Amino acid sequence: MSDEHATEAEEEYLQVLFWLFEAQLPMTAANVARAMQLSAPTVHEMVGRLERDGYITRDADKSIGFTEDGREHAEQIVSRHRLIERFLTDVVGVPWDDVHEEAEKLEHAMSPRFEAYVRSSVSDATTCPHGHPIIPGRRIEGVPLADVEEGAKVTILRFENEAEDLLHYLKRAGLEPGLQGTVARADDEEVVVSDNGAEHAVTASVAETVSVIADPSPPPRTALPDQLVLGRDRYGR
């Protein structure tokens, strides 16, 4: 069984596994490899290590599950990541499309004491700046913006993919979590959301990665893993 010290690499993998779990995507080595843009042998080796260290179990069909210990570690690191992002935007003043990569580094280097200070400095926040719940399990289900019909009212809930180039794109388009508007146009090429006369256009494939609450709402659908890998970067947590 594991002791209390997951390595930095193990923390990264646990975080990606939790992200798959949360998005209801299958927890498999293949999806981890896709998410982290790593080769299958590299991922295979690390998955073996996570199993030996008592963080995950593997079924005969190769699907991965968390042990209690693994789930706890994964939730801790995911929560810390989102907390740091919120701290960087609200306290430090870093633009929200720049905080993910910074948080990736800081999340492994923070002492429990400093984490407590950070937590109290943003104690009112419930989500990261991209809409993901700081306390895992408090995720509000949404639907992909790409599925919403023209004329529907939408509230932007979350950016499912935090790849940096994608966040820059969304920022330039003027979309952000909490924004309320109407779907002015939607076709195979692009989706346009308008609010108070301003129009925000994104490609249909990017609209796949934007979760919204819509009225009228299309039926719920889990995004396909392929549609969540867009940028050169790893996709987000």
Interface segment toward Zn ion; rule CB under 5 A; list 4-12, 41-49, 126-134, 177-185: 126-134
* Nearest distance from C-beta of residue 48 to Zn ion, angstroms: 27
For Zn ion, which residue of 77, 83, 122, 128 counts as binding (CB under 5 A)? 128
Angle of helix 68-87 relative to helix 99-106, nearest 10 degrees, comes to 130
* Residue whose CB is less far from Zn ion, 80 or 100: 100
User: To the nearest whole angstrom, how small is the minimum distance from the Cβ of residue 82 to Zn ion?
Assistant: 6
Residue span 78-117 as binding mask against Zn ion, x where in contact by CB under 5 A, dash where not: -------x--------------x-----------------
Q: Which of residues 148-207 bind Zn ion (CB under 5 A)?
A: 162
Q: Give the separation between CA 55 and CA 76, rounded to whole angstroms.
A: 13
**Cβ–Cβ under 8 Å, residues 15 and 54:** no
Shortest spacing between CB 150 and Zn ion, in angstroms:
29
Collapsed DSSP state (helix, strand, coil) of residue 56: strand
Residue (22 or 53) nearer to Zn ion, CB: 22
- 71 vs 100, which CB is nearer to Zn ion? 100
Q: What is the DSSP string of 104-127?
A: HHHTTS--HHHHHHHHHHTTT--B
Residues in CB range of 92: below 8 A, 6 or more apart: none
DSSP string, 149-212: PTT-EEEEEEES---HHHHHHHHHHT--TT-EEEEEEE-SSEEEEEETTEEEEEEHHHHTTEEE
The CA distance from 56 to 65, in Å, is 6
State yes or no: residue 130 binds Zn ion (CB under 5 A).
Answer: yes
Minimum CB separation of residue 192 from Zn ion in Å reads: 24
- Smallest distance from the beta carbon of 167 to Zn ion, in angstroms? 9
99, 88 in Cβ contact below 8 A?
A: yes
Q: Using the minimum distance from each CB to Zn ion, give the nearer residue, 101 or 199.
A: 101
Count of residues near Zn ion by CB under 5 A: 5
Q: Which stretch binds Zn ion (CB under 5 A): 41-49, 129-137, 198-206, 221-229?
A: 129-137
Contacts to Zn ion by CB under 5 A = 85, 100, 128, 130, 162
